Chain A
Amino acid sequence: MAVIDARDTIEPRPVATQPLSVLGRVHPAAWLLAVFLLFLPAFASNFVLTQLFGWAMILGMVALSLMFLAGYGGMVSLVQLTVAACAGYMVAIFGTSAVDAISLKWAWWVAVPIAIVIAVIFGTISGALSVRTEGIYTIMITLAIASGFYYFTLQNYTIFNGFSGFNAVNAPVVFGVNWRDPIPFYYLCLFWAAASFLAVVYVSRSPFGLALQGTRDNARRMEALGFNVTAHRIAAYAFASLIAAIAGVLLVWQQIQISPGTAGVGPVVDILVIAVVGGIGRPIGPFIGAFIYVVLRTFAVDVLEGLGLDGKRFQLLIGLGFLVIVLFSPDGVLGLWSRFKDRVLNSNSLRPGGGSA
């Protein structure tokens, strides 16, 4: 199972004779990570829970929706954060916020499902507009939709409240728990991040997921096997939009506000950076990328100022990191790791067969 393809997209099924193929089953490191994440609130501060891990898991979900489209479907969509922001805006508009003139103050169990449905419809329509294009044109169309949404929310005051957007968008109190309190909010994010991750892993081996990977490898052959490639790609957008929409609801609760800047062109591109830095070939990659991004954004300012530099230069650090990763490892941090692992294993023992370069 040496790395053959730069787009090391899926773990091949476990084969008994190959010692490395435990990736298909649950890796011991995954258990360790699960236990760590479950017990994190026992010793972590509120800041670490919501501003580091909570935020990283939300951005990770948005980037995961991009990874699903790009890694399995070969479609690089820049509209995923916009779909999330759309859901966030809808929560503010149908639910409660400080903007009394616009917010309808419906109960959360009405507002949230409506918000998700509207965002999924928006994402699916964006997909339908872009699936007939390839490569750079997909990026351009989705970027155009994203900036269109940004400028529309910036200039529309009757629905989106223009530049200031909505503040005091509070998470609901359910079962006597305020879900924006750090520990409940952390578990809420953890639950949905884990659910989206497992859903993507599961679906990648379902007929729908396999067919999506087929359209990525050879769309023309998929047509010649009886698949409607266009319909399949649009359905993939719908699935990815659902994940992005759930993330958007969490995002607006985490930030307690939403404004056009939430999904400006900068943040929209950051999602692509997150997914690529983490590794676009596997569902865990976007979460790794999001964690690195959040840590850099949070601490780079202090580090830079400690070194006597301007703290506003943290973007430079992120940009440099992106450059280094893309130059040395097209498949992200995950690719660096798997190459390192292969090198260590190869030096320990010559593995039999299978290792064509």
Chain B
Amino acid sequence: MPTTVAERLSAAGTANALDLRGVTRMFGALAALVDITLSVRPGERRAVLGSNGAGKTTLFNCITGDFPPTSGIIRFFGEDVTSFPPHERIRRGLRRTYQISALFTGLAVIDNVYLACRGVSRGRFSLIRPRRDDGLMQSALDLVDAVHLTDVKDRLVSELSYGQQRQLEVALALAGAPRFILFDEPAAGLSPTERRELVEILTSLPKHIGYIIIEHDMDVALRVVESVTMMHNGRIFKEGRPEEIESDPEVQELYLGGAHGGGHG
């Protein structure tokens, strides 16, 4: 396991952004993930598709460490992070958003983003209030601007509309210097205009930042990725380029077909 900075850097030069080897996650007797092996290159953008209960969000929870995998190995830029707590993975450049917004409702919008910036830098325990020209406060303001929330930056999060909360959710994942981001249904519940803005934000991310996106809306998902992984019943079922997946008869049968109309949560 690389421990020094030099080792980590040299590993980062050659390694995949994300390497999963035989990752399995059990909930009691239920296998939510079965022997997942997956590699994502640095800067690669990938969609994970699959019906409800396919294990997509569980996959994210294993990668971030919210739930540790029952067995298997997870490497992040070459470093074995399988036993790391979530905050240690985040400090190494991993980020995520949540399917159901996980925000700090008792704090103002700007404070939410400021916390996200502070979480991946020094001074997390500082008792000194940030000054107006504080560097992190500036980056927080820039991020708020990037997701079009400047007008409401001093409002409490509990006062925001649903769409604004989803935008804030994305902003929290962009704080600091992300190297790889996991987006969990960022477009869920957004209006068509808000979806267009989201696609714009995703496509305008710097090229070195890779991501995995879980998204049911094909218009969003297939426009912002270069590769697709299909999941079914906790297993990887198919991998390929968006066009291949879209035209694959098996995939259409399983996922894009009629059985899907019931709505998703």
Contacts and interface: CB of A to CB of B under 8 A. Distances in A.
Given A205-B129, A220-B66, A235-B125, A225 B108 contact: no
B124 interface: yes
A12 interface: yes
A108 interface: no
Contact of A207 (B126, B158, B159): B126
A225 B64 CA distance: 11
Nearest to A199: B127
Contacts of A4: 156, 158-159
A225 B116 contact: yes
A222 B126 CA distance: 16
Contact of B111 (A210, A216, A228, A356): A210
Interface residues of A, number: 36
A227 interface: yes
A217 B90 contact: no
B224 to A, nearest CB: 22
Interface string A195-236: 000000011011111110110111011111111110010010
* Interface-central residue, A7, A214, A229, by most chain B CB under 10 Å: A214
Given A206-B126, A232-B125, A225 B66 contact: no
A227 B103 contact: no
B22 interface: no
B115 A208 contact: no
A211 B107 contact: no
B128 A5 contact: no
* Interface-central residue, A5, A224, A227, A229, by most chain B CB under 10 Å: A224
Interface string B72-110: 000000000000011100110001101000111111100
A208 B119 contact: no
A283 to B, nearest CB: 15
A20 to B, nearest CB: 14
B81 to A, nearest CB: 14
Contact of B124 (A9, A15, A232, A354): A232
B120 interface: yes
B102 A218 contact: yes
A21 B255 CA distance: 52
A217 B105 contact: yes
A225 B120 contact: yes
B172 interface: yes
A128 interface: no
Nearest to A8: B106
Contacts of B107: 10, 210, 213-214, 217
Interface string A3-28: 01101011011010000000000000
Contact of B106 (A203, A208, A213): A213
B159 A356 contact: yes
Given A5-B105, A218-B102, A221-B103, A12 B119 contact: no
B7 interface: no
Interface residues of B, number: 42
Nearest to B86: A223
Interface in B143-173: 154-156, 158-159, 172
Given A13-B154, A356-B159, A226 B91 contact: yes
Contacts of A202: 127, 129
A218 to B, nearest CB: 5
B135 interface: no
B118 interface: yes
B114 interface: yes
A227 B119 contact: yes
A235 B158 CA distance: 27
A185 B172 CA distance: 49
A221 B106 contact: no
A216 B130 CA distance: 21
Nearest to A13: B154
Contacts of A206: 126-130
B104 A217 contact: yes
Contact of B103 (A5, A13, A218): A218
Contacts of A224: 64, 66, 86-87, 90, 95-96, 98, 102
Contacts of A226: 87, 90-91, 119-120, 124, 176
B123 interface: yes
A214 B104 contact: yes
Interface string A173-209: 0000000000000000000000000000011011111
B175 A225 contact: yes
Contacts of B176: 226
A12 B118 CA distance: 20
Contacts of A15: 154
Given A209-B127, A223-B90, 11 more contacts: A10-B107, A202-B129, A210-B107, A211-B115, A217-B104, A221-B104, A222-B115, A223-B66, A225-B120, A227-B87, A228-B87
29 contacts: A10-B106, A15-B154, A206-B126, A206-B127, A207-B115, A207-B125, A207-B126, A207-B128, A208-B125, A210-B107, A210-B111, A213-B106, A214-B104, A214-B107, A214-B115, A217-B105, A218-B102, A220-B102, A224-B64, A224-B95, A224-B96, A225-B90, A226-B120, A226-B124, A226-B176, A227-B124, A228-B85, A232-B125, A235-B125
9 closest residue pairs by CB, A with B: A226-B119, A225-B119, A217-B104, A226-B90, A223-B86, A221-B102, A226-B120, A207-B126, A226-B91
Interface of B: 64-66, 85-87, 90-91, 95-96, 98, 102-108, 111-112, 114-116, 118-120, 123-130, 154-156, 158-159, 172, 175-176
